Structure 1
Amino acid sequence: MPQMAPINWTSLYLLFIMLFLMMIILNYFTFTYMPKYKTSQIKISSIFWKW
């Protein structure tokens, strides 16, 4: 293995980096998040302070 040319090591390194980044990008764009609540309604309740 150490007798391999350095250009071969760098090309393999770049190949694996590009594959890794491609998998990260594909996972990011194919992930679908289904929210629990379809509409976010804020409930305003009146608070009666007992002063």
Structure 2
Amino acid sequence: MPQMAPLWWEMLFIMFILTFILMNIMIYFNMKISQKFYKNNYNSIKQFNWKW
């Protein structure tokens, strides 16, 4: 019978994986929202730069 890791190692590993996935999801949506904000802000600034 193979030797098993202690239960708390498995729990730590699962918690690490879950926090890593959640952190990546939060970073992805944060970058997506910030890019949208800067794009809209840049377009609004660009409209007022008239060159005659």
TM-score with structure 2 length normalisation?
A: 0.57
Q: Distance in 1 between matches of 2:6 and 2:15?
A: 15
Deviations 1:6-36 (A, max 9, x none): 000000000000000000000000013468x
Unaligned runs of 5+ in 1: 39-51
Q: 1:29/1:9 Cα in 2 relative to 1: closer, same or farther (>3 Å)?
A: same
What count of residue pairs does the alignment treat as equivalent? 36
Query: Please, what is the CA RMSD of the aligned residues?
Result: 2.2
Unaligned regions of 5+ residues in structure 2, if any? 44-52
Give me the identity figure in percent: 8
Residue type matched to 2:10 in 1? W
